[in-house]
Amino acid sequence: MTTVLTLILPLINMNKFVKEIKTFKRTILLKGSPAFKISVWFSGITVGLVWILFSEYNEPKNNNLFFKKKKADIFTNEEIERWNKPYISNANNNSVIRNSNLTADEKRKQLLKEIK
């Protein structure tokens, strides 16, 4: 007897759940119903969050939690000189090599040639 009840009770609850879903679907289009209000709020919040997600994906900010910037910010020569000024020992600011086609070893070799 108990095994029969354990098999029937979930079906009764499932039928009640299916019935609630059907009534929700029926009342969702009635403007004054609570189901309509819930659906309007849910759809508004969902559309807003998806809008923010797509806008952040297409143009991510610098300090973003989910999507990082795809490209680094490009520095101008003035910004590079201002950044490197405290680290250059002599007054010759041309010792900084800005050619990005060279590898790190080639840049080091050029700097060592200039020092000698």
The pLDDT profile of the chain, 116 residues, written as one tens digit per residue, is 455 545 555 656 677 777 887 887 777 777 888 888 888 999 999 999 999 888 887 777 766 666 666 666 778 888 888 887 777 766 555 556 566 677 777 877 877 777 66
Q: What is the pLDDT of residue 49?
A: 93
C-alpha distances (whole Å) from 70 to each of 66, 87, 102, 114 are 12, 29, 23, 36
Q: What is the pLDDT of residue 91?
A: 53
Q: What is the pLDDT of residue 109?
A: 80
Q: Is residue 71 part of a domain?
A: no
Q: Based on the structure, what is the number of domains in the chain?
A: 2
Q: What is the pLDDT of residue 1?
A: 46
Sequence-ordered list of residues with C-beta below 8 angstroms from that of 30, at least 6 positions apart, any chain: 36
For residue 100, give its domain range.
77-115
Q: Are residues 54 and 8 in the same domain?
A: yes
State how far the Cα of 84 lies from the Cα of 93, in Å rounded to an integer: 9
pTM of the full predicted structure? 0.41
Contact between residue 97 and residue 107 where contact means Cβ atoms under 8 Å apart: yes
Q: What is the pLDDT of residue 44?
A: 95
Q: Are residues 52 and 83 in the same domain?
A: no
